[in-house]
Amino acid sequence: WMGRVHQMPEDKINELIATNFRGVISTTQAALTWMLERRRGVIINVASVAGFRPSPYSAVYSATKHAVVGFSHALRGELSGTGIKVCVVYPGVTSGTEFFNDKGPPIGVVQYPASWVANLIVRTARFPRRDAMVAPLRLFHLAEPVLGGLGDHLIGEARRRSLSD
């Protein structure tokens, strides 16, 4: 759902929290028992670029993805020394998903093929790393401290235009 937070239906808020955050917690709990018994495993939680770069007009979605990042980083410390790795994958806007079904992505937003994201997840499972993102997004993440408020403004304007179309 994309729009102003005060207009967001309560059921949509609950759905996003249940799927994007509680789902991550539940699957992690289910997998951990098995992994802890074997003292090995890789937990890969899929967040979003919105987990480190919240987007105007998707405040609740951004908050749930930020929660996944915080949960994963805290869990990594909790599992230190157990043989279990915790990784976060940050896909960007992925083509072929339902995310922008209603309006389409804002003009100028780069979409990445789902195959890129799938390959990133497979690589992360084989070669665990703390944070994994498709190559072009790494540059965006590095530029974040410099962009700051300008990034907020540009993304906000693109989303505002997209919503008014």
**Which CATH number characterizes residue 32's domain?**
3.40.50.720
Residues 6+ apart with CB under 8 A from 58: 1, 2, 50, 159
CA distance 138 to 132: 9
Domain range for 88 is 5-164
Q: Which residues are catalytic?
A: 61
CA distance 14 to 16: 6
pTM: 0.78
Residue-wise pLDDT tens digits, 60-99: 999 999 999 999 999 999 999 999 999 999 987 777 666 5
Sheet holding 41-46, edge to edge: 41-46, 84-90, 131-133
Please tell me the predicted confidence (pLDDT) of residue 57: 85
Please tell me the predicted confidence (pLDDT) of residue 147: 61
Residue-wise pLDDT tens digits, 137-150: 555 555 565 666 55
| pLDDT (mean) for 115-129 | 93
- For residue 111, the cross-strand partners are 93
If one counts the domains in the chain, the total is: 1
**Mean pLDDT score across all residues of the chain:** 83
